Amino acid sequence: MNQAEARALIEPFYDLFRADRRDWDAGFAVLADGWRSYYTNTEYRTKADTRPYIEGLFKIVPDINVEVLQVAVDGPVIAVRSELSGTPQTDFMVPHSGRPFSIMTIDLHQVDADGRIATLHHLEDWGTAITQLRGEQEGKQA
């Protein structure tokens, strides 16, 4: 799989986290039936668990958006570095402040033999989000 093919496969999934481009059918079509989204090394959400989770996130952060910044392909593994941003409309990890957050996310997608995403291991920098939402001093910016 080359980088263009990888981007074409993953974009419908990332559109699920874009307020202006969400398409549930297209986003879930790229996921294998037994897809698992690992948020720890052992705990995961299934396809059935994921839609309610995303819907709940959009209730809290209606303008949530993801921007894919980098894609790397190694055989059946697609690595993605992205930026997740938004402004919570209620309490979200900290008391509501009206401030936005913008954090790095790292995802590893495993593609199955049928060309669909079988697993996702993901990590979001929620510690930075908490700092931003509290209005605390951030580190140096590049």
What is the reported pLDDT for 137?
66
What CA–CA distance (Å, rounded) separates 76 from 110?
6
What's the number of domains the chain is made of? 1
The answer to which of 21-25, 83-87, 101-105 has the lowest mean pLDDT is: 21-25
Per-residue model confidence as pLDDT tens digits over 121-141: 999 999 999 999 999 866 555
Whether residue 69 lies inside any domain: the answer is yes
Per-residue model confidence as pLDDT tens digits over 50-98: 999 999 999 999 999 999 999 999 999 999 999 999 999 999 989 899 9
* Structural domain boundaries, residue 51: 3-134
Whether residue 142 lies inside any domain: the answer is no
- Is the Cα dihedral 119, 125, 126, 132 positive or negative? negative
Whether residue 140 lies inside any domain: the answer is no
Whether residue 106 lies inside any domain: the answer is yes
Q: pTM of the full predicted structure? A: 0.90
Whether residue 55 lies inside any domain: the answer is yes
Whether residue 16 lies inside any domain: the answer is yes
What CA–CA distance (Å, rounded) separates 25 from 129?
29
Whether residue 26 lies inside any domain: the answer is yes
Share of the chain above pLDDT 90, in %: 89
Band the pLDDT of 21: cuts 50, 70, 90: confident
| Residue 118's CATH number | 3.10.450.50
Whether residue 85 lies inside any domain: the answer is yes
